[in-house]
Every structure is written in structure tokens, then in C-alpha cells.
Structure 1
């Protein structure tokens, strides 16, 4: 710490400078109206003042630069300083043994950061170590692609503790903690449904480009790391105030306080990953697979559709796909990636039609009717099996009596209308309730009432075998290679029935029309707004109304 005498000298010198500047500035202001050149003169004097103050600050920093104990106290509060009997020589030897393109020096600030990770925050560190097995390969692959030092993989540890959905108090989001503007600048897609700042792969790609741009400015990885945290403007200001020095430890005092601990924490993170065993830390087992498969999705898809058919929990899908904020992949916008545990991709492909057949159940529950594959605006009946109606509460009616009337469960009725079971809110006469009923297409298979789980409740704990089986035209296609068969139930022949048909290989309008009595190729073309019969594509969904 500087002595009282030196501190007093600094204050006195600064006061003299301020006094001189004040008197000269007043003069310049009094004559400004007479001649505009005085404004330029005043700016010059301001720059001269800043230069003199910077030089005083530089001298002060040099006087204490070797005493990094002061820097460590400045970094952490006294009660956070961790004591350890491990000698400095051990840390120095271990850090020097780590092969790294980025300088990993040792001093009291670095020591304080290392002890913070391996002693005070032991539980957090063990969780971080458990997450490295899943996230590091993703990050390293991207860094290698851009020919960047692989040691930069430690940045997400100090940014987010390897939490892809982490959000800071100022809104920085994801593993790499991108702010909204920076994320957009580096082409990360941020919408109501998707936030690619939370996508480990997309965010790592953006971070690699950002780090590469910063290196073009500083040509020094330590300064790049500092600039990643506080921005180039603050680093440039610190360099200028340090007399032009580009040594991190010489500009340390001029950086924002949170950035002063950033590089030491980076060094500590590198130490943690390499030497955690020496401190008897055990990586915590995390619910993430070591290997994954990826599927490209080009239609609207809800996680619960995949969960119910493939038997993967929604929580696991969220862990593997943190970028989807509403559990919905908006594939109609553009193709998006769905990450699955290794070995599930073939099963997904084989059961794709069954998965998509459940879309109405989940999009109705989430109040996204426009996102359903088909939805009649007049009757509000989905061709995939649900009908939305409204019920006006009468005197003496209860949830139980209303649920019984419509063949649904009480829990589902409460969910659809925002009633929390904990609040025990009572029904009142005249209330308008939303009810989802089974359409005629469900008649043969729906032997039990609709539940909140079957309509996509996030609280569902039921297994796929407990869910309602919905029989639609697509369910009757025994194999993907077998031609579509019309539904044989009485509802199929009712006038106005709407069918959803998936175009298959070798289909044309004529062969499709032949499957349904009273339907012509022109009917299909007109109803689906096809400019030409040749516009059909395999996998395309056609809407067919039986007249």
C-alpha cells in the first residue's frame, strides 16, 4: 500500500492541477462567444490535464506494482481471502507445467483465485468439472476450426460456470455470456422461441469469431481475455492511462474492478481442470450423455411429442437443447437442429410421422393454434383430434361436474383455465371456461378422459404407455412404404370431415384423390393453393375436405 505521505502528495498535486485548469477554463468560457477557436483550445487543455493525471496515476501504480498482495485484497474482500499452507513454489511449478499458448503467470492475485476455486467454492468446482466432459469437446472443436488456442475453453468456466442458460444481472446470456447486441452482431438468432446465445455450438462459433477479432486488435491473448470481459474501449483506456503499456499487470489498476479478477480467474480455471485431483476434488456426475445424435427439424415440433414417442424425458431434451425457450422448435421458420442422446436418431426417423401426429395436443395446450398443422377457423376442430369449446359456468356447477360433462379430468380443466390447485380458487357463476374435447376421430380409441398430461402439461409424469393413442389417417399407415388408407370409421364419411395427408414417393394429385370418395384432383389443388400439380413434394402435408 502507498504511504500516507505519498498519498497526500498525490492529492495535493492533483488539486494544484485542478486549480490551474479551473481558472484557465473559466477564462476560455468567458471568451467563447467572441471566437470559436477558444473551444478547440479548451479541448487541448483538457487533453493535457488528462495526460498529466494519467502520468501521476502511472507513477502510483509503479510504486506498488511488485506488491501483488494489495492486488489480491483489492480483488477479494478480506473475509473471502482463503488461507492455505501450500507454498507458492508448488503453484508456480504446476502452472509452468501446463502447456499453453496463453501466458499463465503466478502472483498473489492468481493464488487467491486458485484457492477460491479449490477450497472455498469446492462444490461449484466439482459441478463444473463434471460438465467439462460434455461441453469441452463442443468448445474445443470450434476453437480448433478457427485455429485458436484451445486454452480459451476455460473462458466459459469463469463466464457462466458452464451453464448454458445462465443470465447475468445485466442480461448477458449463455455459456459465453453474450449481450443481446453482441449476439446479434455475431449472427446469433434471438426470437420468442429461440435464443442461440444458449446454444453451446452456435454460441461457441460466435465467441470464436469475436475472440479472433479482438486478437487482431491486441495481438496478445491476455489482453484479448480482458477485452472479452469489459470491452475494447475499457482496455484501450487502461493502456493509455498506463503510458501505452500493453502488459496486463501494468494496466491492472486502470481496468474496471470486475475485470481485474478476470485474467487471474482464467489462470485459476486452467489450474483447476489440470490439478483438481491434487486437491481431492471429484467431478460430479451430471445428467448429460457423452455422445449425441442430431436431427434437422423443418416443422413445428414440441419436446413432449418427442418425449412421448421416444421415451426421452422433457428435462433431458431441455438439457440437450437449451436454445429452445418454449420447448418448441420453430422448424417452419428454417431448419433447426434437435439434439438427442446417441442411438435415438434412427428411432426418431422411423417414428417421425407418429411424432408429428401429436402436434395439435401440445400446441393447443400452449395456446399456439396458428402453429398447428391444420386448424379449422370456423369449427375450431383440429383434424388431429381436439376441439376447443367454451363453457359458461352455471349456478352450483363445480369443476367435477363440468369435467364429467365433457369427459375430461378436473386437473386438466383447471390447467387450461389458469386455476392453481394451491390457491383453491372457486368457480363463479358466469365464468367462461375453455375446454378441449376429443373430436370424432378419437371415438374408437379414446376410452378415458383427456388429461393435462395428454395435452402437454409440463408437470406430466406419465409414461408413453399411459398416454392417449390418437388414431388419425397417418396412424393407419402401417409402414412408410405402404400407400395411405382412408379412415374407415363413420367420421370419415361425414360431410365436411377434414383429412391431413402426407405426400409420399410417387404420389400425384390423381392417385391421392382416388383414395377419398367425392374428392377430385382439382379440389386438392385448390384447397392447398397449389399453382401446379407438379408442386407436390415428398413429406408435404395436404388438407383434404370430404364433400
Structure 2
């Protein structure tokens, strides 16, 4: 009887387990069928409406690494600055290795242009070599970078701090954009902050938000010797992301291959020589005399705000492409003489010396115009706003006293527009008359020189976006279309059609 009961119970258990397994299998089949049906119902992305980055994500393999692997790799980096790993750092690492891989590729393409300069000054001031990555966080290795707060250059100096560290700024020159001088100033500033705090993380935090904010955060955290992560909750929001971004950038740049991030457009610094300038000079004329491209000349001297230097220029070391060295050696004085600005024509001088006539013309123009206020929307830029309102970028800057091209959402811009009662034909005629007075008559047929200017030679550090910004009316997408580019990768020396 006992044996019979045992087999009865055993059979019942086996039957129950079989039933459970069969039910689970049926559920799995239903789940898989449902998921498959959902995927069929879900609309597939149309490649025609995807951006380059979205298309890349569809075909690009993006490795995912667990926290343990990331932390182990950070521990393997020999650095003189702390590389702390936590969830905040992990989030920033994912930004540079997953969500914005294009940015990391761009930094890889530019590092050989700027890192050798940074390393020279880091060695000069006996600082950790990895501080060079801070410029990626600050400006994306772009000497022309400008923030909404008025910080400019590869190390993002504001006006007052730039002047404090000897960076001259006037209507012709802004040395915050001079890579050599601004790097020297940045290393002196960071060295000073390190002497104050004895901690590179706190020194970098103070570089971002100022020593006053760091000291306030230390007091709120209880005072005494505090580290960055101890005062983290009391720092400004931007600074809380600043140091984690620095750690993430170092990781992303050193372990880019492990994340399948490569650049097919590695840039290198252009060779140059110096020309000492002690006079007014027109850089367009100088470039023509040296048989180099004006934009190549300006790219070597990003601190020059206009294509000219004033009469007061003294002992200015202008960088010129190395291939021009032989020409300079042959006859430097003649080249400088030929590069001097052309004197104003007698007719234009007469107008300049007649302020009453000039004021009358200006008042006449203002009578036919009315002032409007435009509120900047997210994504706007001066080129777009100027095009919509039928004015120039230079006019927008003059009307709103803007030094650069940086604008913010909700910012109010003054725009002069034709008054409703003014006749457009008369306005056009007035403008034509003003142009006739301001310059001598010229042939309407475009010259070969004008045509050549629409072909642009890519310079070290160029991107499609910076090129589009220097050529009003040309967008990145138009450049891609005109040159049949599949992506945004360009190389120095490459010729681009701009129109």
C-alpha cells in the first residue's frame, strides 16, 4: 500500500510539472508572436528623413561596457589628477561614447593640432599633462569658441580675467583666441588655483565657477579640508558636471577604439613662420603678395578679428604659412609696402569730411524705416535672422552693439525695417544711390577672381559648420549637396564648392 501511494504521488507531481511547462511554453510562444506582430505593426524608420547621426546609429556597432570594466580602465590610466568613478561620471562617459560619438571623433581629429602646444606650456609650468583635456570640455578645441556669457577662445576667458592675465582685447585683436598666449595664461591661472586649494579637482572647479563659489560650497559643506565630491551638492549646477565631464573626456579619448570610435580625418598643425608688422596692413593684399589663401592666413592668426591691422600696430608677430618664407626673405619691405591699405578715393574722402551731408542722408533713410523688436528663438542664429528680415549680419551687430555672433533664446534684437507707408522701389533706389556714392562704378560681369573665391580650400581645424559661418548664406547642408559629401568629414587641402 505504501509503495502504491508513493508512485501515485510521484505521478501526480510529474503530471503537474508537465502541465506547468506546457503552459509556460504556450505563454512564451504567445509572447514571441505578439512581439513579432508589434514589430511588424511599428513603422520602420525612413532613411530619407534621418540625420547623418541617426543613420550612423542604425548601422554602427556601439559596444556597451559594464561599470566594472569602465572602472578598471580608469584605474589603469596613469594620471596625476584624480579619476573618480561613480554614476555621475558613468553618465558623462555614456554621453561621449554612446550619445555623442560624433563629438569624440571630432576631438580625435583635432588633438594633434592643439595638444602639442598645450603640452609645451604644461611642461613649462610643471603641471599634469592630462590638464590638456580641459580644453575639450571648455571649447571643443576651437580657438574661435564663444559662450553666451562672453567667454572666448580655447580656454574660455571672460574679458576681465583675460585682461588680468595679460590678454589684450580691442577692436582689432582679441588675444583670448591666440592659442599660444591664451594657453600660457590658462596654465598660470590654473597653477594659481592649485596653490590655493592643493587639489586639481577643486582647482578645475574654481576655473569654471570662480574661487568665490568654491569657497562658499566648502563653507556650506562644513568647512575644513574638503574634496570636490564632498562639496559637490553645494556647487553651481554647471560645475557639478564640469569635473565629471573632464574624467569622461579623458576616458573617451584614451579608450575610443574599445568603443569603436575612430576618426578618418586626422588634422595636423600647419607649419608657419613669423612676420613682424609695424604698420597698417591689409591681410587680403598680403595674402595675394605671398600667394596664399586669405583664410589660411586668418586661420593661423585666430586672434585677428578683421582682415586688417591698424596703423598703430607695433612689433606684432604675424604667423604666415611656411611656404611664404622664401618670398619674405627675398624682399620683405616691398611685400609690406604692397600690403598697405589703399587710401580712400578723393570722392569718398569728401563725403567722410562732410558730416552734415552724411547725417542728412542717414536721417532720410531712418525716416523711411521703422524699428522693430525680434525675440530670438531656440536654434536661431544671426545669419538666419538677417536673411528673414532682408538685412545683413553686420547691420544686426551694429544695431544691437554685438561684438560676436553669439545670441541667446529670448534675447531681444532691434531690427530696422521699411515703414509701411514707404515705397520699396524708392528704398531700393536710395540704396543704389548710396552704393554709387560709396564706391566707384564696377563691371557687373563677375571676374575670374570673384569666381575663384567661391572655391574654398579647407584649413587645419576647419569644420563644415565653421566654414558655413564664415560665408553668409551658405549652410552645412548646401555645402554637402554642392560637394556630394555623404558626411561631415573634411581634410586640410580639400577644395569645397561654396556657390
TM-score class, shorter-chain normalisation, is: 0.5 to 0.7
For residues 114 and 192 of structure 2, the distance between their equivalents in structure 1, rounded to whole angstroms, comes to 23
Question: Which string of whole-angstrom CA distances, capped at 9 and with x for unpartnered residues, describes residues 48-104 of structure 1?
Answer: xxxxxxxxxxxxxxxxxxxxxxxxxxxxxxxxxxx9731112212221222211111
Written as runs of structure 1 = structure 2, the 5 A alignment for 1:438-449 is: none
Q: Secondary structure at the match of 1:261?
A: helix
1:336 corresponding residue in structure 2 = 316
CA contact (8 A) 1:453 1:460 kept: no
Work out whether 1:296 is the aligned partner of 2:282.
Answer: no
Give the structure 2 partner of residue 476 of structure 1.
Answer: none
How is 1:35-434 mapped onto 2 (pairs within 5 angstroms)? 85-244=64-223, 245-283=225-263, 285=265, 289-330=269-310, 332-359=312-339, 362=341, 426-428=428-430, 431-432=433-434, 433-434=436-437
1:253-282 deviation line (CA, Å, top 9, x unaligned): 000010001001111111122111222222
> 2-side partners of 1:379 and 1:140: how far apart?
50
Q: Which has the higher contact order (CA 8 A, sep 6+)?
A: 2
Q: Which runs of 5+ in 1 are unaligned?
A: 1-82, 370-374, 381-389, 391-414, 439-447, 464-547
Contact 1:299 1:331 in 2 (8 A): yes
The residue number in structure 2 matching 1:488 is none
Distance 1:453 1:267, change over 3 A: farther
Counterparts of 1:430 and 1:240, CA distance in 2: 65
Change (3 A) 1:459 1:221: farther
TM-score by length of 1: 0.53
2:372 is aligned to none
CA distance in 2, matches of 1:107, 1:294: 48
Higher Cα Rg, which structure = 1
| Root mean square deviation of aligned Cα | 3.7
Provide structure 2 residue ranges, at least 5 long, that are not aligned to the other structure: 1-61, 351-357, 359-391, 396-423, 457-499
Determine helix, strand or coil for the equivalent of 1:343: helix
If the length of structure 2 is used for normalisation, what is the TM-score? 0.58
Q: Give the Cα–Cα distance (whole angstroms) in 2 for the partners of residues 227 and 430 of structure 1.
A: 54
Q: Distance in 2 between matches of 1:134 and 1:429?
A: 45
Partners of 1:308 and 1:164 lie apart in 2 by: 25
Which structure has more helix as a fraction of its residues?
Answer: 2
Please report how far the alpha carbon of residue 305 of structure 1 lies from its aligned counterpart in structure 2 after TM superposition. Answer: 1.8
